[in-house]
Chains A and B, each alone.
With several copies, the nearest count.
Chain A
Amino acid sequence: MEQNILELKHITKLYPGVVALDDVSLGFARGEVHAIVGENGAGKSTFIKVITGAIQPTSGEVVFEGRAIEDNSPQKSMGLGITAIYQELNLLKHLSVAENIYYNRYRKKHGMIDFRGMESDASKVIARLGVKIDPKVLVKELSVGYQQLVEIAKALSQDVKVMIMDEPSAALTNNELEYLFEIVRTLKKEGMAILYISHRMEEIFELCDKVSVFRDGHYIQTMDVKDTNQEELIRLMVNRELKDTFPEFISHRGEKVLEVKHLSTELLRDVSFSAYRGERLGFAGLVGAGRTETARAVYGADRTLEGEIWIQGQRVKIQTPEDAIRHKIALIPEDRKQQGLFLNMSVKDNISFAYAPHLTNSLGIIKGKKEEEICRQQITKLTVKTPSDRQLVKNLSGGNQQKVILGKWLLMNCDILIFDEPTRGIDVGAKQEIYELINQLASQGKVVILISSELPELIGMSDRVIVMAEGRISGELEKEEINQEKILELASKAQEVSR
C-alpha cells in the first residue's frame, strides 16, 4: 500500500473540562478527498488545528511524509506544504482582499512588496471561483459569503501538498460550490491530499472518496464513500436513528402580520413582501443578493433610505433593534461571532442577555436563581453541549455557539422570527432539532422568515420562497412551485437585466 502523506498518531487533546480528542489515529493519502464528519463538538476542528500546529496536542504526534513534525506551528506546517481554511473566518478585516489572499507570502519587486502584481494574481484566483471581487476592496466591506470566498481563494492560491477545508461551504450557495468542487477535483488529480469537513451530507457524496466519522472526541471509523450511504453515516455520527431530514409540516397560512413596502437602503432597491402567521417564508439568492441586508433593515439594524413597515395593519417605525424587539421581532444574525455572541462571556450570560430586564425584582436586581433555571432549561431544550452554564462561549464548538444564540432569542418569545442562516455549521442531528423548532414556532402561529444558502434546506423548510438578486426581489414561489431549477433561475435573473 502506498504510504500516507499525512499520518496522525494517538492524538489526545484536553481542554479544561473537555476531552476534545481522545487517542485519535488517522492517515491521509495523496490524490484523495477525505471527508471528516461528526456532530458539533466532535473534535473535527480541533483535529485539523493539531495538524497545522495552531494548537499543541496534549499527547500524540503528527507525521508528515514519514517524519514526525517537531514543535509544530502554523509557520512550520505551512513550510512543509500544509494549508488550512479554518472554520472561523481568519481574515484581516482592515486589509484588502488581495493582501489577505497573499498575506505573509508576498511577492516582491526590488525588495518591496509588489501590490500591483499581487492584485492581478488575486483577481485570477478569485475568478476561478466564478465570482468577481475587486481585490482592492477591504475585507470588512464584504458580506460573510464573500469573505468565505476570499478565504477559499487564499487557500487555493497556495502551492501545497495537503489542503484542509473546515466547512468551506457553510456560507456558500450552489453556484459557488460548483466552482469550488471543480477546483478540488483538479487538485485531487494533481495528487494533493484534501481534508474536507462539512455538515452537508450531499457534498460528501458528491465530492469525497473517503469519509471518517468522529464522535465525542473519539475516532469511530473510516469508509470508502462509495460503500456507504447517508443513513449509515448519520447513524455513526449521532449514534442513534434519525427520521426524515425535513420533519413533516402542514402550514396554515394565517392573517398577514408583517408587510414590508418599498424598502430601500444603500444596497436594496424597492423590496416589498408580506409574511403570515403560521407560514414559513424562505429567502433565496446567491451570495450577496441582499437577503441579510433585507433582514437587517426590517430589524432596524441598518439605516433605511425609504420604505414602510406594517405590522398587523399598523404602520410602525423601526429605527433601532430596540424598536424591533418592542414590536416583537427577533433576528438571529448570520455572523455569529460579530453579531450574535459575547465570546468572552459565559453561556448563561449570553442566553439571558436580552431577556434580563424580565428577570429583575422590584429593586432592579436580577433574580439569580431564576436566571440560572431559565438558562438551564434552554441548554437542555436545545441540547447545547457545554460542561456548565459558566463555560465561556468562545470555548464551545461552532454549532453549539449557534444554539446559544437560538436559546437567547427563543426566550424573548417574539412574534416574528428572522433566521439568517440558522443552521450554518450545525450538524445533522442539531439541524433537525432546529427544523423541528422552527416548525413548532410556525405552528404556534409565529411568523418565521428563513434565510438560507443551502437549497435543499430552503426547499424542505419553506412554504413560500422569495428569491432575491442584486438587492431586488426577482421572484416569489408558492409551495408547489418551489424547486431547485426555478430558484436558481430567478436568483441569476437580475444579473442579466442589470448588465
Chain B
Amino acid sequence: MTEWIREKGKKIEWNNMGIIIALAAMILFFSISTTSFLTPNNLANIARQISIVGICAVGMTCVILTGGIDLSIGSLIGIVVVTCATLMSSGVNPILVVLVGFIIGAVIGLINATCITYLKIPPIITTLGMMISLRGATYLISGGMPIYGIPEGFKILGQGSIGLVPISMLIMVIVFIFGYIMLNKTVFGRRIYGIGGNEETTRLSGVNVKKEIYKIYIMVGMLGALASLILMSRVNSGQPSAGDGYEMDIITAVVLGGVSVSGGEGKLSKVIVGVIFMGVLANGMMMLNINEYWQRVVKGIVLIVAVAVDIRSREKKAKLKAA
C-alpha cells in the first residue's frame, strides 16, 4: 500500500510533454516544407522576434499563477518606449533614461498593486483601466507621432548579436533562468504559487499577501520596462503604438505553456515552449507564403489543437499512473 502511493507520486512528477510534441511536429513540418526555415539566420530571427514577448511572459506567468492577469503590459511598453525615446532624443544620458524606464515600469506596477490590494478592484479591471489610460497617455506624450533621434549606440540592445546569438535573446534566456530559480527555489516563488492556489491558506500560513502582490506587480512592471527598452532599440524610435495588443500574445504564450488561468498551477519551463511555439508558428507560416487571412485561420486552429494535444497527453499520463 505504501509502495503503491509512493510509486504514484513519482509518476506525477513526469513532465507532460504534449506541447513539446506539438512544437516538434510543427518544426519538422516547416523544416521539410521550406528550405529556409532551418537556417541559423532564420533561427536567430525567431529568437530576436520572441524575446520581447518572452521577457514579459515571465512576469505574466507570475501574475497568472497568483490568479491575476495583467492586461496593461502592452500599454506599459508603449508609455515606457515613448517616454524614454523622448528623453533620449532630447539628449538625456541613456543610462539615466534606462533608469527612468525602469522607474516608470515599477510605478505602474505599484499603482496596479494598490488598486488590487487596497481598493480590492479585480486585476482584470484594474489592468484594463490602466491599459486604456496608459495608451491614451502615450499618445498624449508623443502627440501621436513617432519619436526619432535615439543614440546609435543604443541599438545594440535590440539589434546586436554576439556571434550568431542575438543579445535580446540572451537577455530573455537570463530572465527565464532567473524566473525559474525564483519560482521554484525561493520563498517568494512558492508564495506566488500559494496565493494562486488558495489565498486564504497562504495568508493563514503567515504570508503578508498584499506585500507579495506588490512585489509581483512591480516585478512585472520592471520586466515590461526591460522589454520596452529592447523594443525601442530594435525599432530605433519611439512608436506611440508600441506594444499595442502584446498583452494578448503574452497571455496566449503563457496559457499555451500550460499555466492555469485560475492560478496556482503551471511551470515556467513549459511557458518558454509556449513562447517559442508562437514565434515559430508566425515565422513558419510566413516562410510558407500563406495568404495573410489563411494564416489567421490556421493560427487559431493550431492554438486550439496544440492545447488539446497537451491536455490529452496529461490525461494519458494520469491514466498510466492509475493503471
A–B in direct contact per CB < 8 Å: yes
Interface positions of A (Cβ within 8 A of B): 14-18, 52, 54, 58, 73-75, 78-79, 84, 86, 90-95, 99, 103-104, 106, 112-113, 132-134, 136-138, 141, 266, 299, 301, 320-322, 324-326, 331, 333, 338-345, 349, 353-354, 356-357, 360, 364-366, 368, 386-388, 390-391, 408, 470, 495, 498
A-B CB contact pairs (8 Å), 24 listed: A16-B8, A17-B8, A74-B205, A75-B206, A91-B198, A91-B201, A99-B190, A103-B205, A104-B187, A113-B186, A113-B187, A132-B6, A136-B12, A136-B13, A141-B9, A322-B206, A322-B207, A338-B201, A339-B204, A341-B201, A342-B264, A353-B190, A353-B205, A388-B9
The residue of chain B having its C-beta at the shortest distance from the C-beta of A393 within the complex is: B197
B186 to chain A, nearest CB (A): 5
Cβ contact of B2, chosen from A132, A138, A331, cutoff 8 A: A132
**B132 CB to nearest chain A CB (Å):** 29
Report whether B206 and A92 are in contact in the complex, using a CB–CB cutoff of 8 Å: no
The reply to whether A74 and B318 form a contact with Cβ atoms under 8 Å apart is no
In the assembled complex, the Cα of A137 lies from the Cα of B184 at a distance in Å of: 17
Contacts A84-B204, A342-B193, A345-B197 given; 11 further ones with Cβ under 8 A? A17-B5, A90-B198, A91-B201, A92-B201, A92-B264, A301-B203, A344-B197, A345-B194, A356-B187, A365-B186, A495-B1
B 190-249 contacts with A by CB, 8 A: 190-191, 193-194, 197-198, 200-208
Verify A333–B204 contact, CB threshold 8 A.
yes
The interface residues of chain B lying within 8 Å CB-to-CB of A360 are: 186-187
Q: Quick one: which of A74, A106, A349 has the most chain B CB within 10 A?
A: A74
Given contacts A113-B186, A134-B5, contact A365 B181 (CB under 8 A): yes
The 8 A CB mask of B259-279 against A (1 = contact, 0 = none) is 000001100000000000000
User: Is B10 on the interface with A (CB-CB < 8 A)?
Assistant: yes
Q: A92-B193, A342-B264 are in contact. Are A331 and B204 (CB under 8 A)?
A: yes
From A86, A266, A391, A498, contact of B12 by CB (8 A): A391
Instruction: Report the count of interface residues on B (CB-CB < 8 A).
Output: 37
Closest to A359 in B: B187
A357 nearest in chain B by CB position? B187
Contact between A112 and B5, CB atoms less than 8 A apart: no
Cross-chain contact A90 with B200 (CB below 8 angstroms): yes
Specify which chain B residues have a CB less than 8 angstroms from the CB of A86 in the assembled complex: 204
| CA–CA, A75 and B212, complex, Å | 13
Interchain nearest-CB distance for B10 vs A (Å)? 7
- Nearest first, the 3 closest Cβ-Cβ pairs linking A and B are A388-B9, A17-B8, A134-B9
Are B187 and A364 in contact (CB-based, < 8 A)? yes
Find chain A residues with CB under 8 A from B13 CB. 136, 390
| Chain B residues within 8 Å of A498, by CB | 1
Write out, one digit per residue, whether chain B residues 171-196 have a CB within 8 A of any chain A CB (1) or not (0).
00000000001001111101101100
Separation in Å of the A143 CB from the closest CB of chain B?
Answer: 11
Min Cβ gap A60→B in Å is 16
B296 within 8 Å of A by Cβ?
Answer: no
Q: Is B312 an interface residue (CB 8 A)?
A: no
A106, B194: Cα distance in complex, Å:
13
Partner of A52, one of B190, B204, B265, B321: B204
Q: A52-B204, A138-B12 are in contact. Are A15 and B193 (CB under 8 A)?
A: no
Min Cβ gap A149→B in Å is: 12
Q: Report which residue of A133, A354, A368, A391 has the largest number of chain B beta carbons within 10 angstroms of its beta carbon.
A: A354
CB neighbors of A among B1-46 (8 A)? 1-2, 5-6, 8-13
Q: Which residue of A lies closest to B211 (CB)?
A: A322
Q: Give Cα A325–Cα B208 distance, bound, in whole angstroms.
A: 12
Task: Tell yes or no: B297 within 8 A of A by CB.
Answer: no
The distance in angstroms between the C-alpha atoms of A152 and B9, with both chains bound, is 20
B197 / chain A contacts, CB cutoff of 8 Å: 92-95, 342-345
Which residue on chain B has the smallest CB distance to residue A267?
A: B322
| Given A104-B187, A364-B187; A321-B204 close (CB under 8 Å) | yes
Tell me, rounded to whole Å, the shortest Cβ–Cβ distance linking B150 to chain A: 37
Once the chains are docked, how many angstroms separate the CA of A119 from the CA of B180?
Answer: 20
CB distance from B264 to the nearest CB of A (A): 5
Say yes or no: B204 contacts A90, CB within 8 Å.
yes
A89 to chain B: closest residue by CB: B201
Given A266-B322, A357-B187, A470-B1: A74 touches B194 (CB 8 Å cut-off): no
Q: Is the CB of A92 within 8 A of B5?
A: no
- In the complex, which residues of chain A have a beta carbon less than 8 angstroms from the beta carbon of B188? 364
Whether the pair A390, B12 counts as a contact (CB closer than 8 A) is: yes
Q: In the complex the two chains form, what is the Cα distance from A364 to B191 in whole Å?
A: 14
In the complex, A108 Cα to B12 Cα: how many Å?
Answer: 24
Contacting pair A340 B201 (CB below 8 A): yes
| Inter-chain contacts of B318 with A (CB < 8 A) | 16
Known: A16-B8, A345-B197. A78 touches B206 (CB 8 A): yes
Q: Identify the closest chain B residue to A18 (Cβ).
A: B5
The closest CB in chain B to the CB of A388 belongs to: B9
Residues of A within 8 A of B6 (CB): 132, 134, 137, 387-388
Shortest Cβ distance from residue B320 to the other chain A in the assembled complex, whole angstroms: 9
- Complex: how many Å from CA A103 to CA B193? 11
Q: Is the CB of B204 within 8 A of A342?
A: no
Closest to A92 in B: B197
**Which residues of the partner chain B approach A99 to less than 8 Å between Cβ atoms?**
190
Distance between A401 CB and nearest chain B CB, rounded to angstroms: 12
Q: How far is B201's CA from A112's CA once the two chains are assembled, in angstroms?
A: 23
Q: Are B198 and A366 in contact (CB under 8 A)?
A: no
Contact across chains for A365 and B185 when beta carbons are under 8 A apart: yes
Q: Which residues of A contact B203 (CB under 8 A)?
A: 54, 74, 301, 320-321
Q: How far is the CA of A322 from the CA of B191 in the complex (A)?
A: 14
Across the interface, do B201 and A387 meet the contact criterion of CB distance under 8 Å?
no
Quick check: A388 and B10 within 8 Å, CB to CB?
yes
Name the A residues within 8 Å of B323 (CB-CB). Answer: 14, 266
List the B side residues contacting A18 at CB < 8 Å. 5
Residues B186 and A90 in contact, CB atoms below 8 Å apart = no
Task: Give CA–CA (A112, B264) in the complex, Å.
Answer: 20
Q: What separation, in Å, do the CA atoms of A91 and B200 have in the docked complex? A: 10
